[in-house]
Structure 1
Amino acid sequence: MMSVIAFVLTIVQVMGAPIDTKAVVAFSSGLTSTQYIMNGETVVYDRVFLNDHDGYDKYTGIFTCPVAGTYIFHVHAYSTNKDTVMWLNLLHNDQSLVSVSGYNSHTVGSNTVMLKLRKMDRVQIKAQDQMQFALFGLDTQVYSTFAGFMLYPDVSGPAMDSGAQIVG
């Protein structure tokens, strides 16, 4: 199986713009226990599978962009509630951009978005206000996940981390 870094580097090289691996940012996280979410709370994904460049904080559930660029984010959710609505939002700097929703017992939902981020921008998953539900998770069975990776760095200048350079 190809790693996220190898995948990103392959895409960028095919596009004709190889990058220095110091600029590669990627994270993947999941829930290892059922988490009860309500009233706009941030989902804190406690298992970190990958955290290249340390952008994801498993204690707050927030990704803070370490290198400016274009990113892809994925969210997948599995709710255990009966007869309740599961409604999550992906936020960029506290602005809701895309949602994941479902209704009924053991509902699943997912969404993907591509964003241009500046250094220190924040991305997180929050419950919709006025909603209360449970996201399912077990230590041995991770169903709800949040992941993101940089597709390519911003080459426009000052917003870029000084350690990240286009090469070639």
Structure 2
Amino acid sequence: MGQEGAPGGCNCNRAARSAFSVAMTKSYPKERMPIRFSRILLNEGNHYNVSSGKFVCIIPGVYYFTYDITLANKHLAIGLVHNGKYKIKTFDANTGNHDVASGSTVLHLQQGDQVWLQIFYSGQNGLFFDPFWTDSTFTGFLIYPDQDFLNEADTKANAKDDS
């Protein structure tokens, strides 16, 4: 037998949670700026900022992001941005009817990282909002947190229990 290890602990009551789903309430947002989705469907942890249009990572780990954007009257060139760099871009050529552009990806984020959507090409801003017909949505959620983050949370929980 080896030496006795440090007392175990569990931060079980404080699960790492981060998820959001937001929808548009306005057509044709400003180009080359974060799109502000102002209708909150879910904002677990309040990590999506309605004022800035950005998701801010508080819990480092692996996240899934997806968007479904309705377009009308114009083409759409939209991209998912991570800390100022495009990670994916979607282009949809409007054929005169309403259409949907979508994209999704998985990203590893560090604490403080930011993720948002923006129109990346001037004149290609067909993002359309109709309150009676359809929604354009942006969604993201934590798949799993970094182990170091969990270990640190357990250490802090154990220290609090010892005092």
Instruction: Give 1:129 deviation, angstroms.
Output: 3.3
Distance 1:126 1:85 in 2: 14
Q: Is residue 38–residue 130 contact of structure 1 (8 Å, CA) maintained in 2?
A: no
The equivalent residue for 1:96 is: 86
**1:1-168 superposed matches below 5 A:** 21-33=14-26, 35-81=27-73, 84-104=74-94, 105=96, 106-157=98-149, 163=153
Shift in CA distance, 156/78, structure 1 to aligned 2, threshold 3 Å: same
Taking the aligned partners of 2:21 and 2:57, their CA distance within structure 1 comes to 14
- Maintained 8 Å contact 1:76/1:109: yes
Q: For the Cα contact (< 8 Å) 1:93–1:122, is it kept in 2?
A: yes
Residues 121-166 of structure 1: CA deviation (Å, up to 9, x unaligned) = 0000010132342322234444210000000001135xx795588x
What stretches of structure 1 of length at least 5 have no aligned partner? Answer: 1-18
CA shift at 1:22, angstroms?
Answer: 3.3
Per the alignment, residue 11 of structure 1 pairs with: none
Following superposition, the deviation at residue 24 of structure 1 comes to: 1.1
Q: 1:51 to 1:162 in 2, by over 3 A?
A: farther
CA shift in 2, pair 1:139/1:110, >3 Å: same
Give the number of the structure whose alpha-carbon radius of gyration is greater: 2
The alignment yields a C-alpha RMSD, in angstroms, of: 2.6
CA distance in 2, matches of 1:22, 1:103: 43
Aligned length: 144
1: CA distance between counterparts of 2:93 and 2:87?
A: 20
Question: After the TM superposition, which parts of structure 1 deviate over 4 Å for at least 4 consecutive aligned residues?
Answer: 160-165
Structure 2: unaligned runs, 5 residues or longer? 1-11, 156-163
Q: Identity of aligned pairs, percent?
A: 27
Higher mean alpha-carbon deviation, 139-148 vs 46-55, is at 139-148
Provide the rounded CA distance (Å) in 2 between the counterparts of 1:86 and 1:156.
40
What SS class does the counterpart of residue 147 from structure 2 fall into? coil
